[in-house]
Every structure is written in structure tokens, then in C-alpha cells.
Amino acid sequence: MYATRRSMIHLEDEELDDELDHLMLLMMGEYRKRKHKQRKKHRGSVFGHKVYNQNRDEHGQEANTGHPSPPSCSLLSAGRSFAGTQNVSSLQKDEAWKVNVRIHGCDLDQGYLCGTMEALNVPLADTPVVTFWEGEIVDAKNYTFFTGKWEASPEDDIRHWSKFPSFTPLLGQIETDGGKSLDFSNYPYIFMRWKEQYFVNVGVDCGLTIAGFYYVCFSCSDGSISGFYYDPNSSPFQKLELKCTNEKKSGFTFSSYELQ
């Protein structure tokens, strides 16, 4: 959808901010299109993806699912920034990259958010590598703990979610009904999947892959983020650890009544 030429790899900070602002405007336009299409479809899909807990009864009528959105949290909002590391160690080498993440858009009602991830001190790259990602918020309404795509099996899902201690209290209900009856409105953690979509400031020949995705757990109390990267062709369980910074830049908050 959006790419910069290889010759633009040495973007200055101000130029990169302009590029990101332009990217966000493009994404807002895409988001409007998705919302328009979604209103024309039944609730069985969100942004073209299958929803495992479909909001219709056996007669095809709208059902009252009783699933409120995860708790609104000021630390998980458009403009928030996070900093930390991603462990990319292999059997041959211990290695960690410094990582910065910024949230550019968030819509809890639709279980959607998006942002950018900047990886520093990446081997074979002479500049920090910035990617754009989109996220799915697990809310038992729009998305469940089961991915159903990106080469992740239900076993892969449980194996990765179980890495988070905050997931353990939910496992029994997930084994019973897939987690469809879970109420996340007062749960102190928010679970997500982040999928990088494309590179922002480098070409695809930068030496990195974005074929996989992240299982993510967000703490509503302090804004800390833990994650594990999944890609069958990469080292398993690459851990992402981020802390919320005090910095908050402008962002776009999506809502059904703002984007018509």
C-alpha cells in the first residue's frame, strides 16, 4: 500500500515525521473505506476477517452478546509512545534490538489499533528500520484468542498466550467455550495481535522479514507491554518488552461517529 524508495533510506527525523503523517492520512482514508464496507455487511466479519464469535443468532438476527469493550486506558491511546527491546537471539548468537513503538490510531469498539515500530541497531541496516503495523484487540466480540491465519494453529495460539502469566486465569474458560463468554471490561490486561504490514523507510531488501506477527499483552496499570513474535521460519519466542514513555504526540482516535 505504501512504500518509500531505497534512495530515501537516509530520511532525517523531520522528513520521517512528514512521511509518517502522510502514511496516517492514507490509513485514515483506508479505515473509512473499511468502515463503509463493514456497515454493508453483517457482523460476522470485521475488516474482511472472520470473527469467531459471530454476533447473530441461529435465525440470522442480531444477538445481544453482552461483551463490553476492554477497559478504556489512557496509556493505550493514539499518540502514546513506548520504548524497549526485542530479543532476537538464536542458538548461534545472543542479540537484542532496541525498539520504539508509537500508537497512531485506536478504536476499542472495533478492536482495532495501528502504529509504527522502529528497530534500532539492526545488523545489515545502516539506519533504524521503521514498519507500519495493524493490531487486533482480543475482546471476545471482534477477535478471540484464536488467530485463524498467518500460519498460526490453535496450538500455536495457546502455546504463545500461555507465556503471559495474566493469561493463566482465562485458560479454563477458553478451553470450555473458546473464551466467547469472557468479560474483559474490568480485566487489568489487554491482549492483542500486532501484524506488521510494510516497511516505511527502507526497501524490502533491508535484511528483515515481517512475515510473522506479535502476540501482545498490555498492562493497564503501568502501560508496560510484553510480546512474543511468531513466524514459523524465525527463531521461536522472540520476546518484546516495552515501557510506556511520558512522551505523547498527536494521533488519530477512530470512532464510529467521527468517520462517516
Does residue 216 belong to any structural domain of this protein? yes
Does residue 8 belong to any structural domain of this protein? no
Does residue 71 belong to any structural domain of this protein? no
* pLDDT average, residue stretch 21-25: 57
13-22, 179-188, 244-253: which has the minimum mean pLDDT? 13-22
Per-residue pLDDT for 23 more than 70? Answer: no
Does residue 231 belong to any structural domain of this protein? yes
CA-CA distance, 50 to 143, in Å (whole number)?
9
Does residue 197 belong to any structural domain of this protein? yes
Q: What is the pLDDT of residues 62-101, one digit of tens each?
A: 333 456 667 778 889 999 999 999 988 765 667 888 999 9
Count of domains observed in the chain:
1
pLDDT, position 39: 40
Does residue 69 belong to any structural domain of this protein? no
CA-CA distance, 130 to 117, in Å (whole number)?
6
CA-CA distance, 25 to 220, in Å (whole number)?
28
* pLDDT average, residue stretch 38-51: 37
Which residues lie closer than 8 Å to 109 by C-beta, 6 or more apart? Answer: 69, 255, 256
CA-CA distance, 85 to 68, in Å (whole number)?
32
3-state secondary structure of 49: strand
DSSP assigned state of 56:
B
Q: What is the extent of the structural domain holding 133?
A: 80-244
pLDDT, position 20: 58
22-36, 139-153, 175-189, 195-209: which has the minimum mean pLDDT? 22-36
What is the chain's percent helix, strand, coil content, to nearest 5?
A: 20, 30, 50
Tell me the whole-structure pTM to 2 decimals: 0.75
pLDDT, position 9: 37
Per-residue pLDDT for 48 more than 90? Answer: no
Q: Percentage of the chain surpassing pLDDT 90?
A: 47
